[in-house]
């Protein structure tokens, strides 16, 4: 049976065109339709270190509060190794849809100069969201070490240089840079022992497998308070409020030391601007909340919560600054 041809009226043609426009909009990641639909599934924050370190602690503290704000679970996934570059590479190549994020750190601005071949460009492959916190680094030794201050530690190192080493979170991290700079300042080479994160590093520091670390305050603070580790100096220009009695390296005669570790969240480049804006808004609310600030105080961190543009400017500045230090201290991957 032959069916008569249906002729579309002007009204029907308008309706069909409107439906087509909506369908096309759904395929475009930067549209209002996309913004309304996001997030519709869990969000993952990739931590480029092993569990137990400052990056991990911050990601979990942020993720817990953020999941409530977004109405979706926020999952923390650890992908450690190669000085935080393995996790960064994974996120850089993830879909730019706002569901896979990186808890980045100052380490990534250093790794840019240390690693000759990276599968990403830290300034071009990511969309900054916000800096979560700044944490000072501290020179810490086991409580069984005879040295009670930096001067005594340097004397011990020079008397028996082969017996001393320092651990870091990997080649190209802030701890590696600080350790190399310290080694240069005292005129004595120190063995560098890289780890996949602060958790295993702190375990070995407590056990005496490494002599010292220049890690962030967070993973070592409980052990310093318990008397198992001894803090000799902080590496920032100002003393830490968490360790007010511990001098800075500059105070004890080491000029040019002003390195702390910032941590922040980034998305893959080309993530829709509306998604980045929503993530920034919700994260800053969390960071500025009394509960989160109290949590940061407890772990020796200073909450930040800036704009994507401010974070991008910080990344560019640190990449230039630390690039010079890498060259001056002849830092290379192990």
What is the value of pTM for the model shown?
A: 0.82
Question: d(Cα 238, Cα 249) in Å, to the nearest integer?
Answer: 10
- Supply the pLDDT for residue 265: 98
Nearest Cα neighbor of 303 from 139, 100, 131 is 131
What is the reported pLDDT for 116? Answer: 85
For position 37, what pLDDT does the model report? 86
Residue 11 has what pLDDT?
Answer: 53
The CA distance from 275 to 33, in Å, is 12
Cα gap 59→74, rounded to integer Å:
10
Tokens representing 282 are: 């919700």
Q: What is the pLDDT along the chain (334 residues), one digit of tens a residue?
A: 444 444 455 455 554 444 454 444 445 554 444 445 899 999 999 999 999 899 999 999 999 999 999 999 999 999 999 989 999 999 999 999 999 999 999 999 999 999 988 999 999 999 999 999 999 999 999 999 999 999 999 999 999 989 999 999 988 899 999 999 999 999 999 999 999 889 999 999 999 999 999 999 999 999 999 999 999 999 999 999 899 999 999 999 999 899 899 999 999 999 999 999 999 999 999 999 999 999 999 999 999 999 999 999 999 999 999 999 899 888 877 5
In this prediction, residue 333 carries a pLDDT of 73
Report the pLDDT value the prediction gives residue 170, as an integer from 0 to 100.
Answer: 87
Residues 6+ apart with CB under 8 A from 198: 49, 50, 52, 53, 54, 55, 56, 169, 215, 216, 218, 219
How far does CA 297 lie from the centroid of its chain? 18
Q: What is the pLDDT of residue 158?
A: 95
pLDDT score of 36: 56
| SS3 state at 117 | coil
| Strands (DSSP E) found in the chain | 43-47, 74-78, 100-105, 126-136, 138-142, 165-168, 191-194, 212-213, 229-234, 260-268, 302-303
**pLDDT number for residue 256:** 85
Other CB atoms within a 10 A radius of the CB of residue 328 amount to 12
Q: Which domains does the chain have, with CATH numbers?
A: 41-134+261-328 (3.40.190.150), 138-234 (3.40.190.10)
């Amino acid at each position: 049976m032959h069916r008569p041809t249906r002729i579309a009226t002007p009204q029907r043609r308008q309706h069909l065109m409107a439906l087509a426009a909506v369908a096309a909009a759904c395929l475009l990641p930067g549209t209002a339709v996309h913004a309304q639909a996001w997030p519709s599934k869990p969000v993952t924050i990739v931590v480029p270190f092993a569990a137990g370190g400052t990056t991990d602690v911050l990601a979990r503290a942020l993720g817990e509060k953020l999941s409530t704000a977004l109405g979706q679970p926020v999952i923390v996934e650890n992908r450690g190794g190669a000085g935080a570059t393995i996790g960064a590479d994974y996120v850089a190549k993830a879909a730019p849809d706002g569901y896979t994020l990186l808890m980045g750190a100052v380490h990534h601005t250093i790794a840019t100069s240390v690693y000759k071949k990276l599968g990403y460009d830290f300034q071009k492959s990511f969309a900054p969201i916000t800096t979560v916190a700044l944490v000072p680094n501290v020179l810490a030794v086991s409580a069984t070490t005879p040295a009670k201050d930096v001067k005594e530690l340097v004397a011990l190192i020079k008397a028996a240089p082969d017996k001393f080493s320092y651990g870091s979170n990997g080649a190209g991290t802030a701890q590696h840079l600080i350790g190399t700079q310290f080694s240069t300042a005292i005129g004595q080479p120190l063995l560098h022992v890289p780890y996949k994160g602060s958790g295993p590093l702190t375990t070995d520091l407590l056990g005496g497998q490494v002599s010292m670390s220049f890690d962030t305050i967070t993973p070592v603070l409980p052990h310093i308070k318990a008397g198992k580790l001894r803090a000799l100096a902080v590496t920032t220009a100002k003393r830490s409020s968490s360790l007010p009695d511990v001098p800075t390296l500059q105070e004890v005669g080491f000029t040019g030391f002003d390195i702390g570790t910032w941590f922040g969240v980034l998305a893959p480049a080309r993530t829709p601007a509306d998604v980045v804006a929503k993530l920034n808004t919700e994260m800053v609310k969390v960071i500025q909340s009394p509960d989160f600030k109290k949590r940061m105080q407890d772990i020796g961190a200073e909450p930040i919560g800036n704009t994507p543009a401010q974070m991008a400017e910080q990344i560019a500045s640190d990449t230039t600054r630390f690039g010079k230090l890498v060259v001056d201290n002849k830092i290379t991957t192990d």
